[in-house]
Structure 1
Amino acid sequence: MSSIAKPGDKAGSPPFFSKQATVARPGFSRWMVPPAALAVHLCIGQAYAFSVFNGPLTKVIGITQSAPDDWSLTTLGWIFSLAIVFLGLSAAFAGKWLEHVGPRRTMFTAACCFGGGFIVSAIGVWTHQIWLLYLGYGVIGGIGLGLGYVSPVSTLIRWFPDRRGMATGMAIMGFGGGAMIAAPLSVALMNHFKSATSIGVAETFVVLGIAYFISMTIGSLAIRVPAPDWKPAGWTPPATSTTRMITRNHVHIDQALKTPQFYLIWLVLFLNVTAGIGILGQASVMIQESFKSTVTASAAAGFVGLLSLFNMGGRFIWASGSDWLGRKNTYFVFFVLGSVLYYFVPTFADAGNIALFVLSYCVILSMYGGGFSTVPAYLADMFGTAFVGGIHGRLLTAWAAAGVAGPVLVNYIRAYEVAHGVAKADAYTLTVHLMAVLLVVGFICNLLVKRVDDKHYMTEAELAAEK
Structure 2
Amino acid sequence: MADNSSSLLDRSRTIAGPGYNRWLVPPAALAIHLAIGQVYAFSVFKKPLGALISGNVDAPAPTDWSPGQIGWIFSIAIVLLGLSAAIFGKWLERVGPRKAMMAAALCFGGGFLIGSLGIHLHSLVLLYLGYGVLGGIGLGLGYISPVSTLIKWFPDRKGVATGMAIMGFGGGAMIASPLSVALMAHFKSTGTLGVAATFITLGIIYFLFMQFGVWTIRVPADDWAPAGYVPNAEHSALITSGNVSADNAIKTPQFWLLWVVLMTNVTAGIGVLETASPLIQDTFSKAAMGGGKFVTAAAAAGFVGLLSMFNLLGRFFWSSASDKLGRKVTYAIYFALGIALYLLIPTLGHNLQLTLYVVVACVIISMYGGGFATIPAYLSDLFGKYQVGAIHGRLLTAWSTAGVVGPLIVNYLHEGRKAQGFTGASAYQTVFYTMAGLLVVGLLANFAVTAVNEKYFEKGPVTPQGGGH
| TM above 0.5 | yes
TM-score (norm. length: structure 1): 0.95
Query: Could you say which residue in structure 2 is the equivalent of 1:165?
Result: 159
2:214 to 204, 216, 220: 220
Query: Could you say which residue in structure 1 is the equivalent of 2:95?
Result: 101
Cα distance in 1 for residues equivalent to 2:173 and 2:462: 42
Cα distance in 2 for residues equivalent to 1:296 and 1:269: 34
Deviation at 1:187? 0.2
Query: Is the alpha carbon distance of 1:431 and 1:210 closer, same or farther for their aligned partners in structure 2, counting shifts above 3 Å?
Result: same
TM-score (norm. length: structure 2): 0.95
Moved more, 331-340 or 127-136: 127-136
Cα distance in 2 for residues equivalent to 1:66 and 1:48: 24
Deviation at 1:448? 0.3
Cα distance in 2 for residues equivalent to 1:89 and 1:178: 21
Q: Deviations over 1:254-294 (max 9, x none)?
A: 00011000000000000001111122010111111111122
* 1:59-98 alignment, distance < 5 Å: 59-64=51-56, 65-98=59-92
Cα distance in 2 for residues equivalent to 1:348 and 1:455: 50
Cα distance in 2 for residues equivalent to 1:128 and 1:178: 27
Cα distance in 1 for residues equivalent to 2:463 and 2:408: 43
Partner AA of 2:150 in structure 1:
L
Cα distance in 1 for residues equivalent to 2:234 and 2:339: 32
Deviation at 1:170? 0.2
Query: Could you say which residue in structure 2 is the equivalent of 1:5?
Result: 2
Identity of aligned residues (%): 58
Q: Deviations over 1:351-378 (max 9, x none)?
A: 1111111111100000000000000000
1:289 to 276, 282, 285: 282
Query: Could you say which residue in structure 1 is the equivalent of 2:359?
Result: 359
Deviation at 1:21? 1.1
Moved more, 454-463 or 71-80: 454-463
* 1:42-441 alignment, distance < 5 Å: 42-64=34-56, 65-195=59-189, 197-239=191-233, 243-293=236-286, 294-441=294-441
Q: Deviations over 1:118-151 (max 9, x none)?
A: 0001111111111110010000000000000000
Cα distance in 2 for residues equivalent to 1:37 and 1:461: 28
Deviation at 1:199? 0.8
Cα distance in 1 for residues equivalent to 2:383 and 2:247: 11
Partner AA of 1:460 in structure 2:
G
Q: Is 2:27 aligned against 1:26?
A: no
For 2:105, what is the secondary structure of its paired residue? helix
Cα distance in 1 for residues equivalent to 2:127 and 2:94: 31
Cα distance in 2 for residues equivalent to 1:147 and 1:196: 33
Answer yes or no: is the 8 Å Cα contact 2:120–2:192 preserved in 1. no
Cα distance in 1 for residues equivalent to 2:186 and 2:462: 57
For 1:92, what is the secondary structure of its paired residue? helix
Cα distance in 1 for residues equivalent to 2:15 and 2:232: 24
For 1:195, what is the secondary structure of its paired residue? helix
Deviation at 1:346? 1.1
Query: Is the alpha carbon distance of 1:39 and 1:55 closer, same or farther for their aligned partners in structure 2, counting shifts above 3 Å?
Result: same
Deviation at 1:422? 2.1
Cα distance in 2 for residues equivalent to 1:97 and 1:215: 24
Query: Is the alpha carbon distance of 1:247 and 1:240 closer, same or farther for their aligned partners in structure 2, counting shifts above 3 Å?
Result: farther
For 1:79, what is the secondary structure of its paired residue? helix
Equivalenced residues, count:
458
Answer yes or no: is the 8 Å Cα contact 2:257–2:448 preserved in 1. yes
Deviation at 1:72? 1.7
Query: Is the alpha carbon distance of 1:369 and 1:240 closer, same or farther for their aligned partners in structure 2, counting shifts above 3 Å?
Result: closer
Cα distance in 2 for residues equivalent to 1:453 and 1:376: 19
For 2:88, what is the secondary structure of its paired residue? helix
Q: Which stretches in structure 2 are left out of the alignment for 5+ residues?
A: 287-293
Query: Is the alpha carbon distance of 1:198 and 1:427 closer, same or farther for their aligned partners in structure 2, counting shifts above 3 Å?
Result: closer
Answer yes or no: is the 8 Å Cα contact 1:278–1:408 preserved in 2. no
Cα distance in 1 for residues equivalent to 2:192 and 2:420: 44
Answer yes or no: is the 8 Å Cα contact 1:5–1:15 preserved in 2. no
Answer yes or no: is the 8 Å Cα contact 1:418–1:424 preserved in 2. no
Answer yes or no: is the 8 Å Cα contact 2:86–2:394 preserved in 1. yes
Q: Which runs of 4+ in 1 moved over 6 A?
A: none
Deviation at 1:229? 0.6
